[in-house]
Structure formats: C-alpha cells, structure tokens
C-alpha cells in the first residue's frame, strides 16, 4: 500500500463538517457531549477518509462506506484505523444493543455491500450478539478476497464490570477470539493494574507497567482490557485531541497522519477519541504489535 497517494486537494473534497442535529458516539456507540463547540468543525469521518487517501486504498472503499450509510444511517457505524508499524488497515463495527430485536444486523449489512463485497458465510440471526465487525483492507475492497470472517460480540453476564466476548465466524465455524472488560479509571485503578498483571503474555517484574497503562492517557473516560489469543490489549476511551496527537506520535504513525491531526487540531477539538494497543512481551521486552484509533461515520 503506497502512502501519500492522494494530494491535499483530492482529500479536501472528502472532508465532512458537522451539521445541526449531529450526535456524538464513542467506539462502543455510547453517546457523549462534545467538550467544545462543534460548529464548523470536522466530523470524525474526515479522519477515516484522510487515512484512506493517505494509504492509497482503492476508490471502492468509499463506495462501501456509502452503502453502509444508506443501510444504517449516518454516524451509526464505528470505524477503526489500525497501524502495525508498516501497513494501515481498518475495521468497521456495527452495534445494536436490542440484540435479537436488532435492526442493524449482519444480514442487512451483507445485503447492502454484497455487490461490492461478496460473502459466503452462513448467518444465524438468532444468536444473541449486540455487535459485529468486519476487517477492511486493499484485498477486500478490490475483490482479491471475499469477506471470509465476521467478528461476533456477545455479552458476558456475571462479570462485576461491563464485559464482552468475541468470536470469529468463518467458513470453518466459530472460534473464540477475545474477552473484554471495561473499567472506570477513577474507581477501578487497582483492578486495572491487577488485570494487566494477570496475564500469560507479560512478566510484570520485567516491564514498567506505565508502558501499558500510559499516564498520558489514563485519565480518560473508560479503560478496556482485552485478553486475545496471542496478546493482550488496552483501550483508552474518551481522550482529547491533544492526547490523540500524543498517541499518534508515541506509536510512530505515518508523518502524514500525524501532521493532518496536528494541523487541523482546532477542527477536531470537539470530539473525544478512543485508542488501543495490542501488546505482549518478547525477548527484547514489551512489543507493541498493533494500535488503532477510532471514530464514527
């Protein structure tokens, strides 16, 4: 994937601005009040489109977004831009907390995007999922591969904090992927530290926990900790644009991505952001495998 494929003139035609009646949601599709006036500023979708343009993804990616908006309405879909140090990819998340009474279903999504993204997976809409997601990359949008995996998210009753479980739905069946736990960083600091340390992927005596529970981000609204198959993950939800800028610098995102946010800081300061990192210990210490930042479109 070639970075910098679009020009600033090309990108500007895709910018979206806030409108009266806009509502603001985090990556769990929980609503929040903007911390600054949103008048005349960018929607979060602008950051998604900028990442598309900067990465040089095929034009069909925009058509997929438009098809999803036509099916589910604007500002109801969460996007995540993922960076592994080399390549940008994306994930789209679809929520409907009514579960089996849902309207934003997998079947409806597939109906909307199948002309662009073929999928041969069998779907059981009776499953009690409240969210699902799909991974987006150049191979998918250009038709090199079909949509061969859908991630299902279900609740986890009995947990003392909000919690969820995800499964990968593939042609081979269903596979457990991740366990998620949501904490209030003001009320649950000791539980957060305990959860981070209770891991098969890190040795707490050999690392500085501040490299995971980053003080620069830890005063956020919610911290989510996830146990995945090959690593652990931490998400910081409800951070400011200045904290987002710090995060993009800390995780060494492409210069063009960082510069866009910095240059347009005053057009982005009304939004709260969500970020996450996948990590584990390797021979040379703590390794960040992947990171991401999130918004809605």
The region that residue 159 occupies, defined by phi over 0 for left and psi between -120 and 50 for alpha, beta otherwise, is beta
pLDDT of residue 186: 95
> What is the number of other CB atoms lying within 10 angstroms of the CB of residue 124?
11
Is 4's pLDDT higher than 70?
A: no
For the residues 152-167, what does the mean pLDDT come to? Answer: 91
Print burial letters for 56-80: b (CB count within 10 Å at least 16), e (below 16).
ebeeebbebbebbbebbebbbbbbb
Dihedral-angle region of residue 245 (phi above 0 means left; psi in -120 to 50 means alpha; beta otherwise): alpha
On the question of pLDDT at 89 being above 90, the answer is yes
Given a cut of 50, is residue 8 above it in pLDDT? no
- Residue 6 — very low, low, confident or very high, per pLDDT cuts 50/70/90? very low
Q: State residue 10's pLDDT score.
A: 59
Residue 253: is its pLDDT beyond 90? yes
Return the pLDDT at 225: 98
pLDDT at residue 1 greater than cutoff 70: no
How many residues comprise the chain? 297
Res. 28 pLDDT band, cuts 50 70 90: very high
Confidence band, pLDDT 50/70/90 cuts, at residue 160? confident
Q: What is the mean pLDDT of residues 225-252?
A: 98
Express each pLDDT in 269-292 by its tens digit.
Answer: 999 999 999 999 998 899 999 999
Residue 11: predicted pLDDT: 66
* pLDDT band at 13; cut points 50, 70, 90: confident
User: Mean pLDDT throughout 122-126?
Assistant: 93
**Averaged over 163-189, what is the pLDDT?**
96
More confident residue, 39 or 9: 39
For position 148, what pLDDT does the model report? 96
Specify the pTM.
0.93
pLDDT of residue 7: 44
Confidence of residue 99 (pLDDT cuts 50, 70, 90): confident
Task: Please report the pLDDT score of residue 249 as a whole number.
Answer: 98
* Residue of 1 and 113 predicted with greater confidence: 113
Task: Please determine, for residue 295, whether its predicted confidence score (pLDDT) is greater than 70.
Answer: yes
Where residue 49 falls among pLDDT bands split at 50, 70, 90? Answer: very high
161: pLDDT strictly greater than 90: no
203 to each of 131, 178, 193, 206, how far by Cα in Å?
33, 20, 13, 6
Average pLDDT, the chain: 94
Q: What is the mean pLDDT of residues 84-95?
A: 97
């Amino acid at each position: 994937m070639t970075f910098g494929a679009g020009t600033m003139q090309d990108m500007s035609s895709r910018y979206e601005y806030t409108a009266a009646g806009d509502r603001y949601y985090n990556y769990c599709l929980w609503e929040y009040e903007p911390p600054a006036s949103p008048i005349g500023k960018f929607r979060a979708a602008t950051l998604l489109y900028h990442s598309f343009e900067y990465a040089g993804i095929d034009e069909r990616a925009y058509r997929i977004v438009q098809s999803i908006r036509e099916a589910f309405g604007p500002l109801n879909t969460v996007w995540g831009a993922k960076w592994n140090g080399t390549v940008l990819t994306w994930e789209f998340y679809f929520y409907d907390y009514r579960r089996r009474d849902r309207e934003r279903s997998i079947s409806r999504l597939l109906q909307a995007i199948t002309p662009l993204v073929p999928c041969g997976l069998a779907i059981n809409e009776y499953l009690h999922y409240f969210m699902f997601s799909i991974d987006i990359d150049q191979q998918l949008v250009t038709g090199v591969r079909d949509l061969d995996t859908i991630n299902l998210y279900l609740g986890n009753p009995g947990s003392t904090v909000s919690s969820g479980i995800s499964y990968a739905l593939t042609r081979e069946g269903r596979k457990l992927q991740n366990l998620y736990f949501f904490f209030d960083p003001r009320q649950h600091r000791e539980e957060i530290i305990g959860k981070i340390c209770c891991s098969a992927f890190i040795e707490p005596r050999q690392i500085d926990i501040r490299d995971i529970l980053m003080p620069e981000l830890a005063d956020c609204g919610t911290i989510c900790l996830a146990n995945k198959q090959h690593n652990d993950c931490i998400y910081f939800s409800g951070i400011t644009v200045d904290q987002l800028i710090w995060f993009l610098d800390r995780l060494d995102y492409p210069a063009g991505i960082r510069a866009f946010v910095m240059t347009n800081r005053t057009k982005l300061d009304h939004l709260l952001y969500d970020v996450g990192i996948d990590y584990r210990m390797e021979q040379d210490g703590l390794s960040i495998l992947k990171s991401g930042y999130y918004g809605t479109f």
